[in-house]
Amino acid sequence: MEGFRAKLRVATTVILALWIGIAALYSLLKPISNGCVMTYMYPTYIPISSTEGASSSARYALYLYHEGWKKIDFEEHLKQLNGVPVLFIPGNAGSYKQVRSLAAESDRAYQGGPLEHSFYQEASLTLEEGGVNIDASIFHSSNQYTRRLDWFAVDLEGEHSAMDGQILEEHAEYVVYAIHRILDQYRESQDAREREGAATSGSLPKSVILVGHSVGGFVARAAIIHPLLRKSAVETVLTLSSPHQSPPLALQPSLGNYFARVNDEWRKGYEAHTTPTGHRVSNSRLSHVVVVSISAGYHDYQVRSKIESLDGIVPPTHGFMISSTGMKNVWLSMEHQAILWCNQLVVQVSHTLLSLIDSRTGQPFLDTRQRLAMFSRMLRSGTPQSFNWMMQSHLFHQSTPASIKDAKDATGSQAPSSSSCPSTVQWSAEGLDKDLYIQTATVTVLAMDGKRRWLDIQKLGANGKDHFIFVTNLAPCTGVRIHLWPEKGKSTTDLPGSKRILEVTSKMVHIPSRAAPRQLEPGSQTEQAPPSAVFQLGPEDMRGFRFLTISVAPTPTISGRPPPAVSMAVGQFFNPQEGEREFSSQSMLLSAYSPKDLFLKEDHPLVFNLTFAISLGLLPITLSLRTASCGIQNSGFANEEAGDIEHSRLCKMRCFPPVALAWDPTSGLYVFPNLFSETIIIDSSPALWSYSQGSEKTIVVLLVDPHCSYKTSVSVSVTAAASRFLLLYGSQIAGLSVAVVFFALMRQAYAWDYYLPMPSMLTVVEYNLQMPFPFLLLAILPILVSLFHSFLMSQPFPPIMSFAVVSLICYVLANGLIALLILVSQLVFYVTATAHVFIKTRLVGSLFITRCETEYSDDFFHTFFKCYRLEKVGKKK
């Protein structure tokens, strides 16, 4: 009976490993649709000559990029060098030619000017990042950038720098040389222009901006702490999908040691030198360096967001990490190499680097906070990092300045100048047809009708509905304006001077949206437009105000074209607790076989807060929403299927497409627009000992139109979960597999030493699955010691349960993988032996093989070799 149980355990582990492997391969091998647009260019690479005596440049080379299809004279082009130097560092087995997308778009961005300004809420530095007393004048850009970017690139011969720490050190040493050579080249170019009598303008650059891809980002950081680097030669570093915490795959000890040494030097580099009494003697060595890390999201299978984080290496006052999924004007996840050519990301990065140039000096801002603030403004969206409506409403309120000046707006109200719309985009108050007085908690706008809607905060916000949410595709200021009124009035003269009307239009947060449907002909109906902005007010924001007004601009007239009839806006006073839904670990696991259904009736909350006990980075879910009704009682269609199709089409004309927003503490924001059936996945690394308990959960905010009812289905995607498990814990499974092989060899060595029957590899795997009690104590003891240490140091406790469960699954899969390899090898030997018997029987006619095969069929290894020896003996006889 015990033998049967052991074989059953082995069979179960083999089936589990095989099932997870097939499901993961099915998901990983599917083509990825990242939504990126290809970048095109006309590249020319100008070699930069090496200086004499430069030993580090023997194998490598330095190039200057030029965009354009016309042939140029290299020497003359170098003489005109007068921009801001940027050095691109390729990654593992990368090419210097990978700079072409970034350099080409930077040239186009310089010629085309800054991006069109919008009036959505802009991201700003937090208090932890030093976001106080920032000079706001740096954000007021002109119609043209001050100076272009000169892109250089190092040719590192395509070496596999991610495989050996020694290669990384050599690359870092050459990057230091390249930085010095670039700065010297600008001086040489200026001297050449002066000798020819040409006019020179601007100051020489004193620093180089470093942009690194993959391991090249780590090489950039290694070069900054190199002892030969000139002081302040590098002040800004931007990394694209680069590992910072540790190497993605530490195949050699030198690689891990080099990462640890460089990170340790960076931690020390930000420590200020102080006297024993606490007075600062000098600034830290890296106090002038700003580092920003951009992650490619969950589609990057090579470098995970967890190791791209700068936590514990760079303080928040000098850098941050952002995922491309939450990056302004990008909102996409992409593959490891696609981050170099994805046009949406490349364009945003190009404008960001150009925005770092101070118009007064023609060089990047010297103040680290100004550079970090510009990075934050250009890369981050205004969406808060958490949509916990009960606790985070002050995020919208905190940016309101304490002292404000009155300004008369388009509706005749007073508003603070910091939040009011500029006069250049205001539409006159006479353009508003009339005022509408809303009596329900939900307000709807279906067109740009030129009306102002009044909402009584005290009346509509009663019964716990003290939060207000507003989603729309109307642009702030040009399409819609929102005000808070202490009292009802139509002009500033109706109110005392002490009471002010607050305009909060600029608190609208931009979110990605698909293209709005076009009106085929004037008067024709279209599907409802997807929302492109979210606006939220909490009780603290509305305290002291009686009314909220939503003013919609009149319909613009476009000669020769039909008016834009796809304008939409829906607002609602709601109670956050009514929209809260929690999914426990048990319900999530069961949903893989039986989806969990939710029915959202009409007039439901506009916002649903879905909390998942297990991170969606480990167990991605498939969220499906199907419209059940939208105020249409009977469609009148005889054919039920045709009626459902028509009913769905009619509901899409009335209700906006749902939107989901998910957050992860490490990788940030994820937005899923036009959500009808989508797999919600984030790039987190749960069940790790370094994680805290709260980070194991995932919060998803669902924005759905309250005019429609929905049949909602939530289920765990098995294939996506299997692929995520192998991506996150593949190295742990591989390491445990090696341990399983060593356990087997140890048992066989033990049997050899004591002259016991030699157990087969499969038998040893059966022993491993029994989990002996001494081994269990050995595994629990380090966990208990670590928990006691966390308790003494007042540190948050790690996720013990998920860590133990995932570790156990990895151990079982490792045994299943080894058992599967043993069975496959036995099958191969069996097939080989059978073929051998068949051939020998046909050619020689020996009868010894058949008798031997029957006798030793319990172990295929022994069967093959013993039969072979007997056959040879038979031939001799």
Task: Give the tens place of pLDDT for each residue, 667-720.
Answer: 788 999 888 889 999 888 776 666 655 567 888 999 999 988 999 999 999 999
Residue 614, pLDDT above cutoff 50: yes
Structure confidence at residue 9 (pLDDT): 84
Residue 463 tokens read as 């019964």
**Domain match, 690 and 736 both:** no
**123-127, 639-643, 771-775 — which is least confidently predicted?**
639-643
- What amino acid is encoded at 53 in this protein? G
Structure confidence at residue 249 (pLDDT): 84
**Domain match, 568 and 627 both:** no
Q: How confident is the model at residue 426 (pLDDT cuts 50, 70, 90)?
A: low
Q: How confident is the model at residue 758 (pLDDT cuts 50, 70, 90)?
A: confident
Burial class (CB within 10 angstroms; exposed 0-12, middle 13-18, buried 19+) of 876: exposed
**Domain match, 226 and 98 both:** yes
Tell me the range of 190-199, 412-421, 518-527, 621-630 where mean pLDDT is highest. Answer: 621-630
Helices (H), 29-84: 74-79
Q: How confident is the model at residue 284 (pLDDT cuts 50, 70, 90)?
A: confident
Are residues 329 and 109 in contact, defined by beta-carbon separation less than 8 angstroms? no
Residue 776, pLDDT above cutoff 90: no
Structure confidence at residue 777 (pLDDT): 66
User: Which of these three, 329, 356, 379, is where a domain ends?
Assistant: 379
Top-confidence residue, 449 or 278 = 449
d(CA 90, CA 99): 8
Top-confidence residue, 90 or 869 = 90
Task: Give the tens place of pLDDT for each residue, 19-53.
Answer: 999 999 988 888 888 889 999 999 999 999 987 65
Helices (H), 289-402: 305-308, 343-355, 368-379, 394-397
- What is the Cβ-side half-sphere exposure of residue 457, based on CA atoms within 13 angstroms? 24
Give strand pairing partners of 405: none
Pairing of strands 236-240, 442-445: unpaired
Tell me the range of 114-123, 354-363, 867-876 where mean pLDDT is highest. Answer: 354-363
Q: How confident is the model at residue 430 (pLDDT cuts 50, 70, 90)?
A: low
Residue 413, pLDDT above cutoff 50: no
Top-confidence residue, 781 or 579 = 579
**Domain match, 778 and 816 both:** yes
d(CA 410, CA 207): 47
Structure confidence at residue 665 (pLDDT): 78
Structure confidence at residue 638 (pLDDT): 41
d(CA 83, CA 98): 20
Does 428 reside within a domain? yes
Does 862 reside within a domain? no
Residue 705: name the closest of 536, 568, 582, 535 by CA: 568
**Domain match, 792 and 809 both:** yes
**Domain match, 98 and 218 both:** yes
* 480-485, strands of its sheet edge to edge: 435-438, 452-456, 547-552, 480-485, 502-503
Residue 131, pLDDT above cutoff 90: no
Does 690 reside within a domain? yes
**Domain match, 669 and 795 both:** no
Distances (CA, A) of 434 to 379, 547, 563: 40, 17, 21
Structure confidence at residue 668 (pLDDT): 83
What is the percent of the chain with per-residue pLDDT over 90, rounded to a whole number? 46
**Domain match, 734 and 691 both:** no
d(CA 189, CA 354): 22
Residues in the chain, how many? 877
As a whole number, the mean pLDDT across the chain is 82
* CATH number of residue 600's parent domain: 2.60.120
**Euclidean distance between the first and final Cα of the chain, in Å?**
44
Residue 729: name the closest of 802, 673, 630 by CA: 802
Collapse the DSSP code of 483 into the 3-class scheme (helix H, G, I; strand E, B; otherwise coil) and give the result.
strand
Residue 391, pLDDT above cutoff 50: no
Does 579 reside within a domain? no
Distances (CA, A) of 574 to 175, 191, 471, 662: 56, 68, 13, 20
Task: Give the tens place of pLDDT for each residue, 785-836.
Answer: 776 766 676 666 667 777 888 888 998 899 999 999 999 999 999 999 999 8
Overall average pLDDT of the 621-641 stretch? 66
Are residues 160 and 70 in contact, defined by beta-carbon separation less than 8 angstroms? no
H or E element, residue 787 = helix 773-792
**Domain match, 416 and 460 both:** yes
Are residues 548 and 443 in contact, defined by beta-carbon separation less than 8 angstroms? no
Are residues 294 and 333 in contact, defined by beta-carbon separation less than 8 angstroms? no
Overall average pLDDT of the 865-872 stretch? 46
**Domain match, 504 and 600 both:** no
The residues near 328 (Cβ < 8 Å, ≥ 6 apart) are 123, 348, 378, 379, 380, 381, 510
Tell me the whole-structure pTM to 2 decimals. 0.86
Q: How confident is the model at residue 265 (pLDDT cuts 50, 70, 90)?
A: very high
User: Which of these three, 716, 736, 764, is where a domain ends?
Assistant: 716
Q: How confident is the model at residue 144 (pLDDT cuts 50, 70, 90)?
A: confident
Q: How confident is the model at residue 396 (pLDDT cuts 50, 70, 90)?
A: very low
Q: How confident is the model at residue 721 (pLDDT cuts 50, 70, 90)?
A: very high
Does 852 reside within a domain? no
d(CA 628, CA 529): 19
Residue 226, pLDDT above cutoff 50: yes
**Domain match, 599 and 452 both:** no
Overall average pLDDT of the 264-285 stretch? 73
Residue 313: name the closest of 243, 377, 374, 210 by CA: 243
Tell me the range of 184-188, 745-749, 848-852 where mean pLDDT is highest. Answer: 184-188
Angle between helices 215-224 and 253-269 (to 10 degrees): 50
Residue at token pair 């118009």: 359
Residue 847, pLDDT above cutoff 50: no
27: left (phi over 0), alpha (psi -120 to 50) or beta: alpha
Q: How confident is the model at residue 406 (pLDDT cuts 50, 70, 90)?
A: very low
Are residues 679 and 580 in contact, defined by beta-carbon separation less than 8 angstroms? no
Number of helices (H), then strands (E), in the chain: 20, 31
Top-confidence residue, 743 or 517 = 743
Are residues 145 and 357 in contact, defined by beta-carbon separation less than 8 angstroms? yes
**Domains of the chain: total:** 4
Task: Give the tens place of pLDDT for each residue, 194-207.
Answer: 888 776 667 899 99
Q: How confident is the model at residue 846 (pLDDT cuts 50, 70, 90)?
A: very low
User: Which of these three, 716, 748, 765, is where a domain ends?
Assistant: 716
Structure confidence at residue 533 (pLDDT): 92
d(CA 720, CA 621): 8
Does 33 reside within a domain? no
| Cα 551 off chain centre by | 36
Are residues 336 and 297 in contact, defined by beta-carbon separation less than 8 angstroms? no
Does 873 reside within a domain? no
Are residues 581 and 608 in contact, defined by beta-carbon separation less than 8 angstroms? yes
d(CA 411, CA 490): 8
Domain boundaries, position 427: 394-516+525-556+564-574
CA torsion sign, 68 to 72 to 78 to 79? negative
Structure confidence at residue 217 (pLDDT): 97
Task: Give the tens place of pLDDT for each residue, 146-169.
Answer: 899 999 999 999 999 998 899 999
Overall average pLDDT of the 570-594 stretch? 91
Residue 443: name the closest of 606, 627, 674, 652 by CA: 606
**Domain match, 420 and 545 both:** yes
> Which residues of 178-337 form beta strands (DSSP E)?
209-213, 236-240, 273-274, 280-282, 290-295, 319-323
Residue 517, pLDDT above cutoff 90: no
d(CA 247, CA 245): 7
Does 795 reside within a domain? yes
d(CA 587, CA 108): 52
* CATH number of residue 101's parent domain: 3.40.50.1820
Structure confidence at residue 528 (pLDDT): 80
Residue 392, pLDDT above cutoff 90: no
Task: Give the tens place of pLDDT for each residue, 291-346.
Answer: 999 999 999 999 989 899 999 999 999 999 999 999 999 999 999 999 999 999 99
